[in-house]
Amino acid sequence: MRRIFGTDGVRGLANAEPMTPETMLRLALAAGRRFTRGTHRHRVVIGKDTRLSGYMIEPALTAGFIAMGMDVTLLGPVPTPAVAMLVRSLRADLGVMISASHNPYADNGVKLFGPDGYKLSDGIEAAIEAGMDEPPALAAAAELGRARRLDDAEGRYIEFVKATFPKGLRLEGLKIVVDCANGAAYKVAPAVLWELGAEVVPIARDPNGFNINEKCGATHPDTMQAAVAAHGAHLGIALDGDADRLIMADERGRVVDGDQLMALIAGGFARDGRLAGGGLVATIMSNLGLERFVEARGLSLFRTKVGDRYVIERMKADGINVGGEQSGHIILSDYATTGDGLVAALQVLAELVQAQRPMSEVARLFEPYPQLLRNVRFERGTADPLGHATGRNAIASAESALGRDGRIVIRPSGTEPVIRVMAEGSDPELVRRSVDGICEAISAAT
């Protein structure tokens, strides 16, 4: 039974359970036992973002892995996709990213990657969690691991990202605002764009341990939008705290979300004969407009539950090489094993350079259906709010009213006592009434 692992690793308030040094030590001991196989020297790579609590969690994890006889390579502040890349490049047995992604600085988390660079499955995470309650098989004194820092981790990742940009293309003539979210990409993101020829306007690149994602980054794109207008830039790029998420803005400062970016990238791949699997993978939250756009081009949109790990699992199962989430997690499996904001941004920029047209024309490929999301909170320990007939009837009625021109998505939160109610359709007023009716029925049932 999973107690500490959620939809994307372990996450919580720093120095409170489960994000305490003691629990992190036990997590490392259990993960170390799971990934210690064979007689070779076992290696773990550990990266982190710029949160103050990283200084507490990193040594706790390091001690646990060393106690299990594993050598630890410390990467320092790097994006999550850099950990996924380096765990394969360095032939490590396990990769660890210390980050709470887009959350505020007071939170932190741990994401685990296997030797193949992919996030661990639910089953493996459950096995590690069960092992945390068992006595660890500690290494003998002579078999303890060692820790070292990899000084060129940033450089290796920069060269990896640049290699995904089409040969023969350059970014000369483009002025690009890049919002680093005061996070893990505060050095590498401006460097990649500048080395490819762009004029770069970097913002939110002065982390102090407290300001990660604070009124900046992919979850607060208005800062990037304002900078695009102020500097007369051709476009803006906003990453989140660990740089696995991407939101962009056109030259007018208007947001271009993950659905539009996926449509652009998948369309370019299809044109060049590079799109595998006959379509792309998105979650249940992606806009119906994306689905209609894809279908009109003879392709398919395959939906999964929310979480980039589930998108990746479907991509692997069906041999699809483009997938992602409306929130900006975009996975391009030709290049990476997890969402990579910089790699995805370069694919968009490649389309822009080749088209020789403004971002507003290139990256707005469909008109999104009106979409509304609301949360219904309920008391912990109460009966399942969705199990009551009142709620079920309201959902069925809304689905009937919206018909083929709309969708209803009801999703319990995996981290708090909240039911998320989303509706979309061609008629915004009908969408609003549908959401209101379902929320009222669920509230009445709790």
Q: Exactly one of 101, 286, 327, 434 is catalytic; which is it?
A: 101
Give CA–CA dist 109/97, Å, rounded. 8
Cβ atoms of 271 and 166 within 8 Å: the answer is: no
Its sign, for the CA torsion 26, 30, 31, 33, is positive
Order of strands, sheet of 199-203, starting from the edge strand that comes earlier in the sequence: 199-203, 175-179, 235-239, 246-249, 255-256
The three-class DSSP label of residue 365 is: coil
What b/e sequence results for 82-97 when a residue is b if at least 16 CB atoms lie within 10 Å of its CB, and e otherwise? bbbbbbbebebbbbbb
Burial class (CB in 10 A: 0-12, 13-18, 19+), 389: exposed
Its sign, for the CA torsion 313, 314, 316, 321, is negative
Q: Beta partners for 124?
A: none
253: left (phi over 0), alpha (psi -120 to 50) or beta: left
- Does the annotation mark 413 as catalytic? no
Which residues belong to the active site?
101
